[in-house]
A and B are shown apart, each in its own frame.
Chain A
């Protein structure tokens, strides 16, 4: 007979928060839906509950009950990340695991046949709990015969329960409290008002009466509790990485010979990726060297592709740019897949005047040869200091320029980042202020100052900026740092 198990990590968002803030464990702690005093409390720990802080309250109301209350937001993404991590762990115990899509922290595991691998299913289940405990999570497990049965039993939160036969499971489930299940709160409250406190009492209600009064969802729950209508386990597949490893008998340092090893492996991986209806978005090389060190390099094409020549070209550029201190003994090559974009499928599109794809491919080659940070562009940002007026951001794709029309020819200001420290001004300057050295001559015209000060909340700056013209005609952009009492060359005007 098939065996089924369920693992429940009760109040998973709270467990995630406490894992991120372990110093809060001695305080009352709550998870709120947003970082606001009006944020609604969603989960509470025991200490908070003992202070009568309950889910549904506003955070401000909770604070009125305990001034020590700590609260934080746990985003959906954080829960998803932890779910993915838990999935990896649970795969170690069963190849077929299904995370609940509606109840975070609930996982079903296929336990069929595992009795032969483990001394008993009880020990298997206990092992799961122990493993999760080591990872910082509290859980309860149930091993039984039906999905609903193990779900309801795990939700009852009595540690680890293993049923020996279906009748035992059915009997146990009838005693499970309605309010332990994650069901619509309105339905739960109405059932409790009717005196229906256990799944058994719920099952005793007429099915059609349930449908008529509480709708399809309640009817479905009733059906599930009766053991009808449950879908099969939809286990999340274990995704095997697309990678190949080759162990070299003799350490190899020559890039051409390394490429000869890589070429057939990469062709296999591209074929494998294509079989998954994907194209290659990046290639990673992991090299173990003869001197026992290792290095890892990743190259990405301008756009995901199945063009082996393009990918090999990028790998070759990177290999040639690497200064390997020792010969390679193990070589692992891995590809990352991505969906085929509509653009890649569009074969009839008229070619633009400027071939932006060619530019992207060229940038990809520059990145492959010089590193990922080699191609970046400036983006204007809202800062008062010249250095804070723009950011450098990596450029992944080339876009057509859209210059703003202006009647005035813009002046070009070159910004030195970081600014260049200037020599301190002497007390006596018989030849004038030689800000850029004797060759440029003394300063003949000064415009300014323009004061920029601020950042008092973090690192205070106070600078007096000037434009100065030297006798040679250069316009320099300098400033006096009033905190450091020094002059700096910020840039130049052309």
Chain B
């Protein structure tokens, strides 16, 4: 930061809009504050349009630089005019937030309107500046009514705002403002509407204006500003601009002096729970914790747990966090009473109190987790509890929170959708007048998340010598990280003892029945406000459904806590990587790691979940860990002080917590610095935030005698964690769910498969793959049938094995089928079975489309075993509104070819997305064998290094950003999976084929080591078969 200029003149810019006046201001709030500091301005106001979205960022920077930040907003009135309001004190700020909330909550998303009377009602503690192009005081007609309203409410806190931008209309507007201010007895104050911190951003401001109005620069006309005079002015420049009225300049300082409010004054009280008479929050939390502890430890609470609980409760009480814990407890209680499965995760898993309150399921004392990771006196930041809730019932919990605390005391946290390379190219290019189809092609050449790297673009459509293309490159760089619009955090709530709208404005979210505050997660962290995270998790829904099925059909009641922790068949199945459909450990990469890691206990799963992440992978931690675990390499520590931190992971840092502890122990990070490191890791998309730790970390580590190579590796891992790393506490919570799902799959495969199929869409694999996996595990799958199927899949007694169950596919799998139609069908069926297709159509009132869908899917095979005949019949048998006449002449027969086995399976895939009758490659096996193509089981049995030609259905493609362009694919046939690795060179050669083929041939070399087999592809090709299976859809991930 440059040192400030020492100006002879002084003034305060009182009307500044940042990029948080969405698509209007062209500077970040921090840039405005930094520029004010550089210009020697002691104060600056941030007055974004109908919001305080950027205020926390500006506040943070102002505190850092010692600039006085004036908090305000530009309010939009019903008549479309504007009024600038500045908060003089805390009451004024609350009024500002309430007024914005009122305007926002009544308006469509992205808009706000308030009345003059409402502005007057909220005048206390606010200063009003009336002027500018959009103001009534500068308009053609005399605004006597509005003036009376404002004068009465604001008194001497109402100023006439003079604005000069060296535009032709300035003089007329100013004369009106001066005349009317004199008439109404108002003082005038000098100003200008600041839209950017430097004139260099004028071009970007023009582009933002075009984006906002959906026009191009060539057609924008007067929508853009006529000149570049909306920058932050140096004091001497401002004084020169108002050389004829120095009094008005001086009054800017007077106004600044009157605005003493700072965001640092915000005092936040967490909502208190309604407590039994006479009980304090603290005592009630103590009571509930020990009640829970007695349940968790029925044989008596161990002394070390008791000690830990007392220690935690004392700190919670000292930091006044009792209410927060009671809230989380209440939400968990609500979930339990509503039969909603939930589980806490995140740093809360480090707390024994959370464990005893039933918020988390991990015993931190046994796990040796650090409570300080959760709450720390030094860090002075609020605890963060993430509660995973069955994803299909999360909305119930969210609405419960709204209901319990009221819309005024609870609102969801915002999430700003910001410009990244591709979105920037699309929007900026459109404003510049590029054709959109061409822009899309250009956008695809850039990274999803990073800033645009034009040097890497080698395409005839981008010409660096073309001025228009150069503008595109320059402006897409400048617009990076600008917020485009407001979205909603996946599950973060802000709760307050006082109304939340006294703290921050609330507005409507796009989703119905949701309200959202104007700050995001990071803003809340910066201000030390509490956030409650209610996140949806599909796996919990699967577990719940599976528990219900086991209870109903097998007569066994299961709970998460009641499942034996050390079930050997389950671990044996996990070690075989037989984990399709399980939580977290089902992906191709996880399955490849399982045989190498050989998990034998719960903590092994914690490591398994953490290790297959970009953090450890890019940090080069995986192989050393595996070698040490297998005894192929001694466990050593780079420095004695790191031993306690790295001991449980054999000297290799695998968890985010370890990285932070490393920073503290080896690089002398203070707790505050370590916390900043954690937040910078979380904000990995904001360029350069992690990089600034590099020098500090490595040099300090080397000073302590740690090898440079290790220090570099630790930093690489930190960077990797930034992209996506797991804290141990997250992994510990997820490992429980992973284990429970594996246990269910191992012992109740039919029930688990049924639960999985009913919880779709979710997970890594398609229903077809889950069904095929079920079949390979001996689960009998029964096709959809109007005579038996319900909406959901269901269990039916098996005819093969007494006591076992088959899965009857539900009608939800018939494409295009609606739930209410199926309800009608099952209702009618309850009265009497359907006698014929006609009977079905008439009794259920089914139309031609529905009947055709049922025939296509094979659900009418009970009436006509030939599917084409059934389809012809269905098309001619819609429900008649009029009773039929007996005189109907029977129509001549139509003759259709019967479907062969391949066609039958293809129809199943086309109309239900799976086939209970067989795998699409089953009927082609003979032909494939003739072509000397083996099945997956044969490939897996080949020795390492053998050359392989194989063909299978592509069920999954993955191209992780950390894999240097490699693509990982899973191919499937009737005997199982084959994993294929396609290096970048081969990918480039066969890109279109790889991206689109559903049946793919691969030639390559088999790598089979440690129970893991991959074919490393040299060539990809399309198998030349006489018949082709129906194209299946693979699940593709980045």
Binding site for B on A (CB under 8 A): 32, 35-37, 39, 50-52, 59-60, 63-67, 69-72, 190, 193-195, 204-206, 208-209, 212-214, 381-384, 447, 449-454, 456-458, 465
Contact = CB atoms under 8 A, between A and B. Distances in A.
Contacts of B436: 35-37, 39
Contact of A451 (B167, B440, B991, B992): B167
Interface in B871-925: 871-872, 875-876, 891-892, 894-897
Given A67-B445, A450-B167, A453-B227, A383 B437 contact: no
Contact of A71 (B437, B856, B871, B872): B437
24 contacts: A37-B426, A52-B992, A52-B995, A59-B440, A60-B440, A65-B992, A70-B437, A71-B437, A72-B435, A72-B437, A193-B856, A194-B871, A194-B896, A195-B897, A208-B891, A209-B894, A212-B891, A382-B223, A450-B166, A450-B167, A450-B168, A451-B227, A454-B226, A456-B202
B533 to A, nearest CB: 33
Given A213-B875, A213-B876, A383-B222, A453 B228 contact: yes
Contact of B437 (A35, A384, A450): A35
B468 interface: yes
Given A65-B992, A451-B167, A452-B227, A39 B218 contact: no
Nearest to B444: A63
B471 interface: yes
B418 interface: no
B9 interface: no
B170 interface: yes
Interface of B: 166-168, 170-171, 202-203, 206, 217-218, 220-224, 226-229, 426, 432-433, 435-437, 439-441, 444-445, 459, 468, 471, 848, 852, 856, 868, 871-872, 875-876, 891-892, 894-897, 991-993, 995-996
Contacts of B217: 457-458
Given A52-B996, A383-B222, A193 B426 contact: no
A479 to B, nearest CB: 11
A193 B868 contact: yes
Given A37-B426, A195-B897, A451-B228, 14 more contacts: A37-B440, A39-B437, A51-B992, A65-B991, A72-B435, A72-B437, A213-B872, A214-B875, A382-B220, A383-B222, A450-B168, A452-B226, A454-B227, A457-B468
Given A51-B992, A450-B166, A209 B892 contact: yes
A205 B432 CA distance: 57
Interface class of chain A by DSSP: mixed
Most chain A CB inside 10 Å of its own CB: which residue of B218, B440, B444, B992: B440
Given A52-B992, A67-B445, A212 B876 contact: yes
Contact of B896 (A60, A64, A195, A213): A195
Contacts of B992: 50-52, 65-66
Contacts, number: 119
B206 A454 contact: yes
B432 A69 contact: no
A457 B475 CA distance: 11
Given A51-B992, A456-B203, A449 B440 contact: no
Given A193-B871, A213-B876, A457-B468, A65 B996 contact: yes
Nearest to A54: B996
A407 to B, nearest CB: 9
Contacts of B202: 456
A457 to B, nearest CB: 5
Given A37-B437, A52-B996, A457-B468, A67 B226 contact: no
Most chain B CB inside 10 Å of its own CB: which residue of A36, A59, A208: A36
Given A37-B426, A72-B437, A194-B868, A457 B167 contact: no
Contacts of A458: 217-218
A209 B871 contact: no
Contact of B224 (A52, A65, A67, A454): A454
A382 B222 contact: yes
A69 B995 CA distance: 15
A205 B992 CA distance: 40
The 9 closest A-B pairs by CB, nearest first: A382-B221, A52-B996, A384-B226, A213-B875, A37-B440, A451-B227, A71-B437, A451-B166, A51-B992
Nearest to A69: B441
A205 B891 CA distance: 11
A204 B895 CA distance: 9
A314 to B, nearest CB: 38
Nearest to B223: A382
Nearest to B848: A213
A35 B894 contact: no
Contacts of B852: 190
A457 B432 contact: yes
A458 B992 CA distance: 38
A225 to B, nearest CB: 16
Nearest to B220: A382
A87 B894 CA distance: 43
B229 A381 contact: no
A67 B459 contact: yes
A205 to B, nearest CB: 5
Contacts of A50: 992
Contacts of B432: 457
Contact of A67 (B170, B439, B441, B891): B441
A451 to B, nearest CB: 4
B872 A65 contact: no
Contacts of B168: 450, 452, 465
Contacts of A71: 437
A209 B876 contact: yes
A64 B444 contact: yes
Nearest to B874: A213
Contacts of B221: 381-383
A457 B435 contact: no
Contact of B435 (A35, A64, A195, A450): A35
A63 B440 contact: yes
